[in-house]
């Protein structure tokens, strides 16, 4: 799955470009190829944590907090105060740290409001009709176009369906956190074949993202490297994607992209964490309530995929 060769964690700072522009740190999580983000107002030092990972070993079904510890250590080192815990969508390939981070920081956690519809799809797949309640497990469910504050900065919510039906992009000044829509320009775009996903919707979401100002820094959700690149990358501008993205650069035909995307997605296996991760992520990063022996249990559907 990955061509990356990493001997130690990779952290990079993308500094503010001026008034109204946030500082951004990317923290690479090598087990799942996920990039976790800290987005901070340089003036007030208020920060949002975006798509942070609660580490999960799918062989032994054990959880550790190494990634969120690393993120919080960086927050402390930079003198930041966490104001928001954000996720762009209920992830299929990693377990979200949302609930744990809320406990440790006291900051409210949030996600897009269409998680309610995603929950309905997966409640049926798991045959758990009463398991998921986003209003219970998230402090804020953002609507398309909603704006909230990060220190002195405005953050705008863009609905970006396709990978899931409820994925959202957070746009803060000249930074946009585009999750599983685009990959790096040398890779292309993300898959759209999970329940509720749709390649035509993903195409439109990507076009909306690429209509942002050319200098906008786009921060993607995953990187697995390429045969020619063995170090992770996660930042490129709108202009760079429009010029060089191998799937959706300027001049790409919509119908041809959808055909290629659908054919490619039909060959992809499910991520190895998906059936565990979604059962937790749709609870805001919480395990099911412990049973009478003090342990939590997950329910896994057989022969559904």
Q: How many CB atoms lie within 10 A of CB 27?
A: 23
> Which sequence spans correspond to the domains of the chain?
11-281
DSSP assignment string, 39-87: EE-TTT-EEEEES-EEEEETTTTEEE-HHHHHHHHHHHHTT-EEEEEE-
- The tens digit of pLDDT for each residue in 138-189 reads 999 999 999 999 999 999 999 999 999 999 999 999 999 999 999 999 999 9
CA distance 6 to 185: 21
Give residue 29's pLDDT band: very low, low, confident or very high (50, 70, 90): very high
Residue 2 pLDDT: 62
Pick 11-281's CATH classification: 3.30.420.40, 3.60.15.10, 3.40.50.1970, 3.90.1200.10: 3.60.15.10
Residue 4 pLDDT: 73
Residue 230 pLDDT: 87
- The tens digit of pLDDT for each residue in 201-232 reads 999 999 999 999 999 999 999 999 999 898 99
H/E/C letters for each residue in 241-271?
Answer: HHHHCCCCCCCCCHHHHHHHHHHHHCCCCCC
Residue 3 has pLDDT above 80, yes or no: no
State the pTM of this model. Answer: 0.96
């Amino acid at each position: 799955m990955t061509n990356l060769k990493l001997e130690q964690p990779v952290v990079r700072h993308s500094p503010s470009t001026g008034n109204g522009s946030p500082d951004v740190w990317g923290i690479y999580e090598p087990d799942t190829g996920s990039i976790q983000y800290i987005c901070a107002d340089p003036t007030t030092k208020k920060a949002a944590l975006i798509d942070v990972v609660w580490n999960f070993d799918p062989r032994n079904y054990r959880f550790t907090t190494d990634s969120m510890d690393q993120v919080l250590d960086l927050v402390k080192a930079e003198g930041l105060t966490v104001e928001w815990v954000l996720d762009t969508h209920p992830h299929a390939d990693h377990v979200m740290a949302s609930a744990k981070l809320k406990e440790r920081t006291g900051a409210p956690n949030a996600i897009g409001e269409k998680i309610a519809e995603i929950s309905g799809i997966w409640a049926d797949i798991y045959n758990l009709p009463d398991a998921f309640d986003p209003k219970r497990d998230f402090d804020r469910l953002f609507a398309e176009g909603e704006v909230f504050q990060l220190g002195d900065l405005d953050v705008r919510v863009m609905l970006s369906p396709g990978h899931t039906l409820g994925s959202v992009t957070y746009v803060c000044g000249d930074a946009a956190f585009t999750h599983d829509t685009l990959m790096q320009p040398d890779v292309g775009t993300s898959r759209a074949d999970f329940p509720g996903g749709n390649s035509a919707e993903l195409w439109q979401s990507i076009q909306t993202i690429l209509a942002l100002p050319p200098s906008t820094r786009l921060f993607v959700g995953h990187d697995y490297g390429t045969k020619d690149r063995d170090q992770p990358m996660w930042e490129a501008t709108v202009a760079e994607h429009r010029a060089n993205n191998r799937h959706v650069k300027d001049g790409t035909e919509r119908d041809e992209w959808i055909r290629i995307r659908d054919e490619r997605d039909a060959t992809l296996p499910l991520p190895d964490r998906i059936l565990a991760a979604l059962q937790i992520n749709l609870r805001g990063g919480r395990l099911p309530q412990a049973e009478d022996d003090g342990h939590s249990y997950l329910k896994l559907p057989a022969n559904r995929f």
